[in-house]
């Protein structure tokens, strides 16, 4: 059985938990600033927030994660990082960033840009109408739309799932240490 399972020794070269929290706050600040800048420039009036915001967030998470993990690796004394350490730094950073960003989005849609939630509901009704018309011929008035806290939670869960994928990609591209098998 031991011949089938490979065992790797794992050495962490830095404080990946603290780096993940610190970089997560930096990533969240970048995401929040970009959303607020988009609102100030008037972009949200022409293109509602929920339309393309998710792809912007995912690409921004990936790029910021890559840059910050490269920065983390550069600041290590041995300048070596394994896949596991790169993954954990990126995952913690994305996790912290997604939670902070979800709280910011909640406040943003309630107090700054109320039209974002209305636009999201209008598009949801449109999609539901087309889906119901194509499948069951039910009345759209019988469909209950989710409330704001549920939308925030769903957005946070979706961003956390994407954080895992971002962490995998970051861990693969940022590693420069190959692990040795031990018997």
In a domain, 97, yes or no: yes
By CB neighbour count within 10 A (0-12 exposed, 13-18 middle, 19+ buried), where does 11 fall? exposed
Among all chains, which residue has been given the structure tokens 């990126």? 90
Query: Taking the model in full, what pTM does it have?
Result: 0.73
Dist. CA 24–CA 117, nearest whole Å: 26
Q: Which residue from 47, 38, 26, 53 is spatially nearest to 158, judged by alpha carbons?
A: 53
Q: Is residue 181 part of a domain?
A: no
- Mention every residue, 6+ apart, whose C-beta is less than 8 A from residue 84: 10, 12, 171
The percentage of the chain sitting over the pLDDT mark of 90, rounded to a whole number, equals 10
Range of the domain at 156: 16-174
Question: Does 48 fall in a domain?
Answer: yes
Over residues 103-143, the pLDDT tens digits come to 888 888 788 877 776 766 676 666 666 665 555 555 555 55
Cα separation, 182 vs 36, in Å, equals 51
Q: Is 2 part of a structural domain of the chain?
A: no
What integer pLDDT is reported at residue 96 of this predicted model?
93
CB atoms within 10 A of CB 106: 17
Domain membership flag for residue 158:
yes
Average pLDDT score over residue span 45-57:
58
Length of the chain as a residue count: 183
pLDDT score, position 15: 82
């Amino acid at each position: 059985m031991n011949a089938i399972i490979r065992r790797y020794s794992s050495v962490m070269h830095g404080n990946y938990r603290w780096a993940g929290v610190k970089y997560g706050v930096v990533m969240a600040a970048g995401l929040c600033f970009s959303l607020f800048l988009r609102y100030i420039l008037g972009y949200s009036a022409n293109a509602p927030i929920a339309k393309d915001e998710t792809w912007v967030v995912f690409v921004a998470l990936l790029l910021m994660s890559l840059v910050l993990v490269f920065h983390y690796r550069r600041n290590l004394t041995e300048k070596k990082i394994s896949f596991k350490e790169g993954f954990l730094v990126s995952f913690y950073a994305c996790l912290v960033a997604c939670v902070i960003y979800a709280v910011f989005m909640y406040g943003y849609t309630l107090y700054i840009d109320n039209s974002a939630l209305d636009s999201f509901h209008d598009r949801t009704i449109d999609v539901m109408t087309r889906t119901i018309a194509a499948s069951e011929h039910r009345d759209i008035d019988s469909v209950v739309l989710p409330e704001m806290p549920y939308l925030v939670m769903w957005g946070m869960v979706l961003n956390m799932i994407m954080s895992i994928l971002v962490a995998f990609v970051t861990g693969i591209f940022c590693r420069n240490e190959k692990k040795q098998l031990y018997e």
